[in-house]
Structure 1
């Protein structure tokens, strides 16, 4: 009878069982992280990033400027024939009105006889609304230097103010400023364009 230590000739004296090698997870982990990063990058490419827009501060209630609100598009403004309707309404202040027929000859500030009627109509309208206050802004074309054009714009505004006062409008209700050549409504390259730029505008500052 064979003992426990007996073995047949040619048979191995012992059996060697090789243990499994330890599985290396590190390459697979790195590959997975790489794929996740790629997917995240692709998802951001297809999405528009929001653009931060700084809010536009609201103008102060009493802020009025000489410049035309719609420079270059004066036909979008109301002519002085709409002044009475505005003063009778509740639309917000300030509001700019264009003179429909009030321009000046080159280098001059006196109101032409042909344009005096509109100034008289404005004076009549203001007489119906005695609490209304206005600002007259005068402008020049681009010829001449800045200082001279600023002075000319102010002289034109003062000329309109004086005409209104002569028609009975209290002087304390009419302020004058100059925009010089800074706010053209037409080209300065032609005689007709320069004529349009030699103008005044009326801004209602109070009702």
Structure 2
């Protein structure tokens, strides 16, 4: 399975570490999780924004490899509370390292997630070295040169940029006209990377330090690099459309199954018993559900129908306006089949923390339940349940298959 940098960094922040962070910072675990969902792609976007020159790539490669071998990835909890005494110098010098840009980044993460700005600052202190450590470990294991790093980051760009939650203005914090400026610079550089980037790896050797000092020294170096990254992010104002933020979470934002090549879907009118006709697609949930309700097939708890045009706002359980058409169609079907009762199920892929995934799937199932209830289907709804990363309809080996597993489904309990 292809290595995904965003997922690898996110996976470091499991429920255990999130619990510890929440307790250490005096925040709720939910708010900490939301803050992490914005902090990780923001830090990685900062790295991408600097990876548009040979010098920038070489700097990132050197410090990332040092990070990967420092042991910091196994001691992230060292940044929390008194356990992180060896990191105490970071807090006092962080503003000097990043200046106004660091404060802006911490501020937007605070506003986005609801955590205190001091908590957002502390999370940045953790995520930045963690991200560099993951990148460095992967680069070392694959013996990457700067051109190899250029190619790798190019392959990760879309995943990273699409993971930035809506409402998180990281482009403004980085001094960019838009995030598409990052993509444009990367594309331009990577297209000529083989001829422009030196293949000679620059190894940095340091004297042995006591084990507790290694993570602290690396973390300071990591933030120095990120100061360099964020300081150099202000020169691009290339006009282009912002990338769509439609991947989860936790990159889990688009619920409908996705095909590798979008086929042209055949529109049709689905006629209901009460004479109503609804607009749908051949093979879509409306078409399949009505055919089942009109059949003599027995009710089964194993038979589920997946919404195929239902999406949520990034990182939330808010149904997008464009998705309401399909929700309204399901409400119309319930009205036309008054004896039918259904249950709503929510599912995710296996990326990220399973507990958080169950919570997200429950919230989204509840949101669909609430909309159908408001549309008059209350007596026909037999509950909503979030199953999280279970009952997969595809393997979780590609983004395409993961999208298929991130879904909301309907099970008929009576007809």
Question: Which TM-score band applies after superposition, normalised by the shorter structure?
Answer: 0.5 to 0.7
Which digits, 9 at most, give the CA deviation of each residue in 1:88-137, with x for residues without a partner?
33211123212121244553222122222111101000001112111111
Match of 2:385 among 158, 177, 184: 177
Cα deviation for residue 172 of structure 1 reads: 5.5
1:84 match: secondary structure: helix
Cα deviation for residue 140 of structure 1 reads: 1.4
TM-score (norm 2): 0.29
Distance 1:171 1:148, change over 3 A: farther
Q: Hey, what's the Cα distance between the residues in 1 that align with 2:394 and 2:314?
A: 15
Cα deviation for residue 159 of structure 1 reads: 0.9
Matched residue, 2:369? 161
Contact kept? 1:138, 1:199, Cα under 8 Å:
yes
Match of 2:408 among 188, 200, 203: 200
Matched residue, 2:289? 83
2:332 match: secondary structure: helix
- The structure where helix makes up a greater share of residues is 2
Matched residue, 2:360? 152
- The structure where strand makes up a greater share of residues is 1
Contact kept? 2:331, 2:372, Cα under 8 Å:
yes
Contact kept? 1:105, 1:195, Cα under 8 Å:
no
Q: Hey, what's the Cα distance between the residues in 2 that align with 1:171 and 1:109?
A: 23
Q: Hey, what's the Cα distance between the residues in 1 that align with 2:384 and 2:330?
A: 15
Contact kept? 1:80, 1:100, Cα under 8 Å:
no
Distance 1:151 1:178, change over 3 A: same
Residue 136 of structure 1 pairs with residue 344 of structure 2: yes
Any gaps of 5 or more consecutive residues in structure 1? 1-76
Q: Hey, what's the Cα distance between the residues in 2 that align with 1:148 and 1:171?
A: 30
TM-score (norm 1): 0.56
Contact kept? 1:188, 1:194, Cα under 8 Å:
yes
Cα deviation for residue 190 of structure 1 reads: 3.8
Cα deviation for residue 157 of structure 1 reads: 0.8
Q: Hey, what's the Cα distance between the residues in 1 that align with 2:402 and 2:392?
A: 8
Any gaps of 5 or more consecutive residues in structure 2? 1-282
Cα deviation for residue 79 of structure 1 reads: 2.8
Contact kept? 2:299, 2:414, Cα under 8 Å:
yes
Distance 1:84 1:124, change over 3 A: same
- What is the aligned-residue RMSD (CA, Å)? 2.3
1:168 match: secondary structure: helix
Contact kept? 1:103, 1:195, Cα under 8 Å:
no
Decide which structure has the larger Cα Rg and report it. Answer: 1
